[in-house]
Amino acid sequence: MRRRVVITGMGCVTPLGHDVNSTWEALLRGDSGMAPVTIFNASTFPASFCAEVKNFQLPQPLAAGGKHQHAGRHTRFTLAAAMEAWQASGLGESGHFDPDRTGMYLGSGEGSLDFDNFTSLLVDAWAGNRLNTVRWGELAFGRMNVHRETEQEGNMVVAHLAAEFGLRGPAFNSLTACAASTQAVGEASLLIRRGDAEAMLSGGAHSMIHPYGVTGFTRLTALSTRNDQMQTASRPFDMTRDGFVLGEGASILILEEYELARRRGAKMLAEVIGYGSSADAFRITDQDPQGEGAAAGMRAALADAGVGIDQIDYISAHGTSTAQNDSVETMGIKAVFGQRAYQVPVSSMKGSIGHLIAAAGATEMITCVLALRDQVIPPTANYRVPDPECDLDYVPNQPRKAKLETVMSNSFGFGGQNDTLIIRRI
């Protein structure tokens, strides 16, 4: 009998709200998180809007004291999300908290570059056709700051969470692009299942809303450029979709071994029963066109959960609103579910909230837990024009009441990384 893993707390900071409830309510209302970029002046960029976290400040208990004074933007989001999750779980105050047996597995992205200083150095040390590294070095040590540089490292969010909550257990960070935090929740569950930890803070964080992040996605032609219709620009599975809308944020879940949660009388929100991971191994720019990689991840999760396709009541799609992802994901679902694919509701919240990149999967996992709690499926916003290649039930525009016991969540990353989680009502 393997150990069971349950979710006992959740927290998030997203373009739709600074906590779980406000994000969920906005999502069910079909609100849009999109607005012109304010983090830098993107007015001349092909895509000049995005889904920023708005008016966010680190809540006071976290902002006080020196521990997090240098924390970067995505780390601040994560601290607030983790505090919400931690308090909701009650683990810290329960008398059952063992710091050595409590770890972290995050899918957090790199921190934001110190753009102005970094870029001014490229200009000021430029010697015609190449960088004069001697000049660069002379200038850089005066301009660059140890905290701004170090806080960009992938393990820094983990470091701040450990400091805040006094965690001493296993600590990992995965960065498999847009699949990272789904992967993190899956791998964290495996650590608990195996007995390597009894509780894990898991989830993800990312902000790529900075000039080079937006540049990178623009050059890949991955972003929607509907500047004049930004509220409806992200339209997963719709025929007229033209790219994703870049978002940012953080989501954290508290995962616990079932017996620990039971012993301490914790409120169990859902059980993580299946996780699967695969690689397309196809091309650096394209997904496997038949959706075989996506299908392999879903099949692995089903096998891990020991459930059949008939038991999946809802699929939270990756559904980015790019031409390729949404049709490939549809094909993958059909490859796994066969005729059943047409009966399972599938929705993507990215129409409302945008694409939170490394933080996307954990945010979607939170909405899956809430879907189980409220027995309601969050809609795919901005779905108007059916695409013959995307012919499933995408729960367009309106939330839908449904009987939900077991749900699946997909995440796919650039580079062909596929991850799927399955959770069950408890």
Partner 1 sequence: MTERRVAITGLGVVTASGLGIEELFGSLLAGRPSVKRIDLFDPSSFPCQVAAQLDGFSARPYVPKSYRKAVKVMARDIEIAVAAAYLGVRDSGIVTTGLDGGTPDVDSSRLGCNIGAGLICADLNELGAAVNTSVTDGKFDMGKWGREGMNNLTPLWLLKYLPNMLACHVTIIHAAKGPSNTITCGEVSGHLAAGEAARTVARGAADVAIAGGAESKVNPMGLLRQTLLGRVNTGSNDSPGRACRPFDAGHGGTVIGEGGGLLILEDLQRAQGRNGRIYAELAGFGAACDPEGVNYLKPNVGRLDGAVAAALKDANIQPDQVDLVIPCGTGVPGEDAAEAEALRRALGPRADTVPVAPLAGAFGNLFAGAGGVALAVAAMTLHKQTIPPAVNFETPAEGCELTVCTEATPARLRYALCTGFGVGGQSAALVLKRYQE
Contacts (CB under 8 A) with partner 1, residues 86-125: 99-100, 103-104, 110, 119-120, 122-123
Q: Is 160 a catalytic residue?
A: no
Cβ closest to partner 1, residue 16 vs residue 209: 209
Candidates 83, 80, 86, 34; CA nearest to 256 is 86
Q: Which of residues 169-228 bind partner 1 (CB under 8 A)?
A: 169-177, 183, 187, 190, 194, 196, 211-212, 215-221
Cβ closest to partner 1, residue 153 vs residue 387: 153
Q: Which of residues 260-319 bind partner 1 (CB under 8 A)?
A: 276-285, 293, 296, 300
Paired strand residues for 390: 387
Min. distance of Cβ 283 from partner 1 in angstroms? 7
Size of the site for partner 1 (CB under 8 A): 92
Which among 12, 50, 178, 368 is annotated as catalytic? 178
411 burial level (CB within 10 Å; 0-12, 13-18, 19+): buried
Paired strand residues for 199: 102, 256
3-state secondary structure of 45: coil
Min. distance of Cβ 191 from partner 1 in angstroms? 9
Examine residue 126 and tell whether it contacts partner 1 (CB under 8 A): yes
Q: Which of residues 401-420 bind partner 1 (CB under 8 A)?
A: 413-417
Q: Which of residues 317-376 bind partner 1 (CB under 8 A)?
A: none
Cα(293)–Cα(282) distance, rounded to whole angstroms? 9
Residue 275 tokens, joined: 């996780």
Cβ-proximal residues to 298 (8 Å cutoff; 6+ apart), any chain? 276, 332, 333, 336, 408, 410, 420
Min. distance of Cβ 279 from partner 1 in angstroms? 4
**Interface pick for partner 1 out of 35, 56, 63, 136 (rule CB under 8 A):** 136
Candidates 425, 388, 394; CA nearest to 407 is 425
Cβ-proximal residues to 87 (8 Å cutoff; 6+ apart), any chain? 9
Q: Is 178 a catalytic residue?
A: yes
Which among 50, 210, 318, 368 is annotated as catalytic? 318
Cβ closest to partner 1, residue 64 vs residue 122: 122
Cβ-proximal residues to 16 (8 Å cutoff; 6+ apart), any chain? 22, 23, 26, 27, 31, 33, 352, 353
Examine residue 145 and tell whether it contacts partner 1 (CB under 8 A): yes
Candidates 251, 276, 254; CA nearest to 108 is 251
3-state secondary structure of 85: helix
Cβ closest to partner 1, residue 301 vs residue 404: 301
**For tokens 């089903």, what's the residue?**
302
> Is the separation of the CB atoms in 274 and 302 below 8 Å?
yes
Examine residue 44 and tell whether it contacts partner 1 (CB under 8 A): yes
Q: Is 74 a catalytic residue?
A: no
Q: Which of residues 375-394 bind partner 1 (CB under 8 A)?
A: none
Min. distance of Cβ 196 from partner 1 in angstroms? 7
Min. distance of Cβ 47 from partner 1 in angstroms? 10
Residues tagged active-site: 178, 318, 355
